[in-house]
Amino acid sequence: MKSFRVDILEGARIALFSLKANRMRTVLTTVGIGVGVATLLAIIGIIQGMNSTFERQLSTMGANTLYIAKFPWGFNGDWWIYRNRKNFTMAHVDQIRAQSTYLTALSPMVSRNADVAHGQEQLSAVRVDGVTDEYLSISGFEVIQGRFLADSDNETTRSVAVLGSEVAQGLFPGIDPLGQTIRIEGSPFKVVGTLARKGKLVDQNQDLVVLIPFKTFYARFGKQRPFTIALAVTSASDVKRAEDQLVGILRRARGTPPGTPDDFAINRPDMIAKTYDQLTGALYAVATGVGLITLLVGGIGIMNIMLVSVRERTREIGIRRALGARKQTIVLQFLMEASVVSAMGGGIGTAVGLGTAKVVSLITPLAADVQPLTVVAGVAFAAVVGLLFGIWPAARAANLDPVEALRYE
């Protein structure tokens, strides 16, 4: 062990001396590996940021919520099969409320996109949702001004509305929206509350929304549009049991014959995560592949430079071998030289890569999330690349014949 420690210390000293003596070569080699590490970590930083952002957005839906609809989320093809399913009715809502033992809140929900205006201000493609008072505890929205919709608003079909944060800011810049009147496709609605910012979920802006009473929605915009049943269960651990119970309730309520598939879909927020993984999985694989290829090119550059170094220092190697240096000592010297160059490049590449990811997050919608472990992994991975690509040059140097090496000019 003592001999090994001496070899390590002496190898490190000679490696550093060699790198200092060949500054330009060291810089070029460091840049090569740094570009590879920077590319890879910039991609990883952006990917981690996107994942973190998506997880935060998904958490706004709640882990104990379910959405019963004709269409499953993220379906591919067979549109007409789902389209021809029977619509839900309020009788179905009443049966779920009466028979489900896991239910804590339930609200039918119907939606459409509409133009919303106040005075000269107008917003297009705003999502207008017809809901009941229980929707607040299901959706994760927070009222920051005024109040939410009340049960009496729904029963009396009052024309009142609660505005999402972007709608409130867009229609009432610098003005208190409470008590003001907005027009949804020409129909007047009194503003009774505003919601806290919630952010986007995948490509849906959750703040560009207006909530109105469920019955008012049908009274103003017609009764042909199918609705979804949103509900919250007692806890996240009960979601699966609640889902199984709902299947039985709905099959009986809808008269689904035994042995036939369900003619409805029970959607969970984690289904969006599966769709997200499918959409981004190929992108991540390609992006990471590009980074690894770039790093591979940097590793090949290290190997070439180290082979040149071995050729230039053949006589030096011969002298050291003639004086009793073991093969292990020569191998350690060149491996340390390769790993030091790689680690330096990795450190610079890590800083540049994560900095690039941050800049990208500032000037584009893409997010970046820099984790401490990523910084350590970047430098360590670069050093490992140096060791791997330094094995052949180091072995070649150690296996030189001392006599031939001494005669080398």
Instruction: Give residue-wise pLDDT tens across range 328-368.
Output: 777 777 777 777 777 777 778 777 877 777 777 777 666 66
Same domain, 105 and 248: yes
pLDDT at 350: 78
* 231 CB burial (10 A radius; 0-12, 13-18, 19+): buried
**Host domain of residue 400:** 2-57+274-407
Strand-pair partners of 108: 229
Report for 66-75, 100-109, 351-360: range of highest mean pLDDT = 100-109
Same domain, 88 and 143: yes
Range of lowest pLDDT (127-136, 193-202, 287-296, 399-408)? 399-408
Same domain, 303 and 329: yes
* 303 CB burial (10 A radius; 0-12, 13-18, 19+): middle
Same domain, 160 and 137: yes
pLDDT at 100: 92
Which pair of tokens denotes residue 174?
């610098």
pLDDT at 160: 97
Number of structural domains (the chain) is 2
Same domain, 97 and 240: yes
Same domain, 75 and 51: no
pLDDT at 140: 84
Of 268, 294, 314, the residue that ends a domain is 268
Same domain, 245 and 287: no
Which pair of tokens denotes residue 52?
């973190």
Same domain, 97 and 191: yes
pTM of the predicted protein model: 0.67
d(CA 117, CA 121): 6
Per-residue pLDDT at 319 exceeds 90: no
Rg (CA), the chain: 33
pLDDT at 302: 76
Same domain, 94 and 234: yes
Same domain, 316 and 238: no
Of 203, 235, 268, the residue that ends a domain is 268
Q: For 239-247, what is the mean pLDDT?
A: 91
Per-residue pLDDT at 131 exceeds 80: yes
Same domain, 6 and 154: no
Q: For 389-396, what is the mean pLDDT?
A: 78
> Nearest 5°: phi and psi at 140?
85, 5
Same domain, 228 and 374: no
Alpha carbon distances (Å) from 34 to 186, 219, 231: 60, 64, 52
Q: Where are the alpha helices (DSSP H) in 60-86?
A: 79-83
Q: Kindly state the percentage of the chain with pLDDT values over 90.
A: 33
pLDDT at 298: 76
Of 241, 268, 295, the residue that ends a domain is 268
Instruction: Write down the mean pLDDT value for the chain.
Output: 81
DSSP conformational letter for 268? -
